Amino acid sequence: MNLLTEAWIPIQHNSQFQKITLQQLLCGEKTGELCLPRDDMELACLQLLCAITQVLFTPKDKKELGKYVTQPVSSDAYENACKGKMDWFDLDHPETPFMQIRNVKAIQPTLMDKLLAGVADGTNKSFVNPRGLGDYLCGSCVAIALFNVANNAPSMGGGFKGSLRGSTPITLLIKGNELHQTVWLNILTEETLAEIMPWYQETKTQKPNYLDRVSADSKILASCIGLNRGLLWQPAYFELLSPKPKGKCVCCGSIEPVYAGFNKAKFNYTVEGIWPHPLSSRFFSIKKGEKEERFPSFTTTAPTWTHLSRLVVDQQNEKEGQQTAPVIRQARTFMQNDKIQLIVGGYRNNQATVLERRHEFFSLAQGWAEHGEVIRRIITDGLAYKTILRKALYLFAVGIKDKIHGSGVNLCDFAEADYYHQTENWLHQCLASINFDAPDSDLKSLNFQLKKSVTNIFDKVTEPYRQEPKMLKALALARRSLHKSLKELEPQGVACD
Ligand SMILES: [Zn+2]
């Protein structure tokens, strides 16, 4: 199956599920919303569409990009762009199959479920993965899964290399009104590439590493990896077994040729430095004058909004900083007068085990591009109220040494989870509708809601202990702490209630 010519993109249009070609999508002949039963596969499919489109068409500047966003590509232009690249995207190519190499030596084949992140782990839960997934995969789902494992998921473990972005990076994309727009909004122009990847021009003709292989044990500088090579980087050796002529894909349900397994092998190499992936923000710290960079991941159960300012706002001090994803940086130059919709996703893992998947949407109101400080303030306030609640409940549990006897009941984690649950919608709403030029009144009402939530949760979780004489002092202490901290947090000159 060739991803440039065959129908592999799973979409839903007018309640009909079908697969369409990339040409139909980019030439405006067919449209719809991506549709797969797993949200991580949907996200990976979108990333793959962006990667292929970026490889085929890299617009010169934002004017040219603007044309692509608003007008369909002509069939001639599409065919032209595919010239010389057909061998890159053929899943069953006799020599250079997509994201694979030929003649991988493995003792025994691996079953398909290993390609679906989180399915084969010991912690697999039926609510994360419907039963039956992982038996056979169609060409479309297997291409998406190969790309997902290479880019987003923890490595296969046991010495297998992870993606260029580390094991479970957070991915950021811009969402358009329609699928083809979403794809184009995440394509970088040559202008942007020259800024984020100064080696872009000289590495432009590089091929992916499954065509032009990395030699074993080599050391590769990230600044020697070109755009196409980085976007399609395959960190391990994979080779699909020949497909069976017909079967039911356990992911999308299509009845077509299906793959039942693959061979895999690790190979060793080192990449030095960080490759500036278009869809990833980067954090850095400066130690002894050296900048150390890394890609952020979801490491705790805290909701995605808590990461948002670190993902979309640039910031730097003497010791550390953060830089937003190149696609967001580019969007600041041509979407600054519009609201922006973001897709944020990734896995949370413990080594090779996937604990959680995320695929969420955020809207940022008009003015987002210039008012990073307001975005930061919203997130900081959201977190500050959570901290106040925890602090008060911590005092309730431990008291004050030699003065007030603590209750010994730790309600912090339970209350924190409840706080996140109750406030998530408000944070989303505030980010989507705030008046960035004059944010005070919107911030005030957000603070009012957050404060109300904190006091409600405090009352709710401590209620069962109000009749316990031994705990009364600790409860009074905790309540005093809560009110004092809440007062300190109120926006200056504004009473929240
Ligand atoms: Zn499928």
23-52 pLDDT, tens per residue?
A: 999 999 999 999 999 999 999 999 999 999
Rounded distance from Cα 139 to ligand 1 centre (Å): 7
Give the span between the Cα atoms of 98 and 88, in whole angstroms: 6
Rounded distance from Cα 116 to ligand 1 centre (Å): 12
Where among 272, 292, 312 does a domain terminate?
A: 272
Q: Are residue 267 and residue 386 in the same domain, yes or no? A: no
- pLDDT of 164 strictly over 50: yes
| In contact, 32 and 7? CB cutoff 8 Å | no
CATH code, 407: 1.10.132
Percentage of residues in the chain having pLDDT higher than 70? 95
Residue at 288 is within a domain = no
Q: Count how many Cα atoms sit within 13 Å of the Cα of residue 482 in the half-sphere of its side chain.
A: 24
Give the span between the Cα atoms of 199 and 222, in whole angstroms: 10
Domain of 128, in residue numbers:
9-272
Nearest Cα residue to 489 out of 374, 348, 388: 388
Rounded distance from Cα 254 to ligand 1 centre (Å): 6
Q: What is the DSSP string of 391-424?
A: HHHHHHHHEETTTEE------HHHHHHHHHHHHH
Q: Are residue 230 and residue 98 in the same domain, yes or no? A: yes
Where among 245, 272, 299 does a domain terminate?
A: 272
Instruction: Name the pTM for this structure.
Output: 0.94
Please tell me the total count of domains within the chain.
Answer: 2
- 160-185 mean pLDDT: 94
Rounded distance from Cα 153 to ligand 1 centre (Å): 19
Within 10 A of 463 (CB to CB), how many other CB atoms are there? 9
Q: Are residue 81 and residue 226 in the same domain, yes or no? A: yes
Residue at 175 is within a domain = yes
Residue at 367 is within a domain = no
Where among 272, 304, 332 does a domain terminate?
A: 272
Residue at 287 is within a domain = no
Query: 139-151 vs 39-56: helix axis angle to the nearest 10?
Result: 90
Q: Are residue 133 and residue 248 in the same domain, yes or no? A: yes
Give the span between the Cα atoms of 378 and 65, in whole angstroms: 32
Least confident range from 96-105, 122-131, 456-465: namely 122-131
- pLDDT of 120 strictly over 70: no
Q: Which residue would you say has higher pLDDT here, 156 or 163?
A: 163
Rounded distance from Cα 351 to ligand 1 centre (Å): 27
Q: Are residue 257 and residue 385 in the same domain, yes or no? A: no
Q: Are residue 267 and residue 390 in the same domain, yes or no? A: no
Contacts of 317 (CB under 8 A, 6+ apart): none
Q: Are residue 257 and residue 395 in the same domain, yes or no? A: no
